Structure 1
Amino acid sequence: MNQPQPFAPLADHGRFDYQGIHQRPDYHWPGGKRLAVYLGFNLEHFAFGEGMGAQLGARFAEPDVLNYAWREYGNRVGAWRCLELFDALGLPAGTIANTALYDHCPELLEACAARGDELIAHGHSNASYQGTLAEDEEKALLAHCRERMATAAGTAPSGWLSPWIGESRHTPDLLAETGYRYTLNWCHDDQPVRMRTRDGRGLWAIPYPQEVNDIPMIIARKLDARAFADMIVDQFDEMLAQSERQPLVMGIALHPYLMGQPYRLRHLRRALTHIAAHRDALWLTTPGAICDHMDGLFL
Structure 2
Amino acid sequence: MSRSEVLPPLPDHGRFAYSGIHDRPDYVWPGGARLAVYLGFNIEHFAFGEGLGAALGPPSPEPDVLNYSWREYGNRVGVWRCLELFDALGLPSGTLINTALYDHCPEVVAACVTRGDEIIGHGHTNAVRQADLDVDAERALLAACRQRIAEASGCAPTGWLSPWISESRHTPDLLAETGYRYNLNWAHDDQPVRMRTAHGPLWSIPYPQELNDIPMIVARKLDGRDFADMIIDQFDEMLEQSARQPLVMGVALHPYLVGQPYRLRHLRRALEHCAAARDRGDIWFTTPGRICEHVEALAQQGMLADL
TM-score interval (norm. to shorter): over 0.9
Q: Structure 2 matches for 1:219-258, cutoff 5 A?
A: 219-258=218-257
- Pair 1:216 & 2:198 matched: no
Q: 2:208 aligns to what SS in structure 1?
A: coil
- Pair 1:261 & 2:233 matched: no
Task: Give aligned pairs, total.
Answer: 298
Q: Deviations over 1:167-194 (max 9, x none)?
A: 0000000000000000000000000000
Q: CA deviation at 1:5?
A: 4.5
Q: Deviations over 1:247-271 (max 9, x none)?
A: 0000000000000000000000000
Task: Let me know the Cα RMSD of the aligned residues.
Answer: 1.4
Q: 2:112 aligns to what SS in structure 1?
A: helix
CA distance in structure 2 between the aligned counterparts of 1:182 and 1:144, rounded to whole angstroms: 17
CA distance in structure 1 between the aligned counterparts of 2:201 and 2:12, rounded to whole angstroms: 17
Q: Deviations over 1:139-175 (max 9, x none)?
A: 0000000000000111100000000000000000000
CA distance in structure 2 between the aligned counterparts of 1:16 and 1:249, rounded to whole angstroms: 18
Q: 2:96 aligns to what SS in structure 1?
A: strand
CA distance in structure 2 between the aligned counterparts of 1:24 and 1:143, rounded to whole angstroms: 34
Q: 2:22 aligns to what SS in structure 1?
A: helix
Q: 1:250 aligns to what SS in structure 2?
A: strand
Q: CA deviation at 1:132?
A: 1.6
CA distance in structure 2 between the aligned counterparts of 1:6 and 1:289, rounded to whole angstroms: 47
Q: 2:203 aligns to what SS in structure 1?
A: strand
Q: Deviations over 1:97-141 (max 9, x none)?
A: 000000000000000000000000000000000012110000000
- Who is 2:286 aligned against? 285
| Structure 2 residues not aligned, in runs of 5+ | 301-307
- Who is 2:305 aligned against? none
CA distance in structure 2 between the aligned counterparts of 1:206 and 1:97, rounded to whole angstroms: 17
Q: 1:277 aligns to what SS in structure 2?
A: helix
- Who is 1:86 aligned against? 86
- Who is 1:52 aligned against? 52
| Structure 1 residues not aligned, in runs of 5+ | none
**Identity score, percent:** 74
- Who is 2:195 aligned against? 195
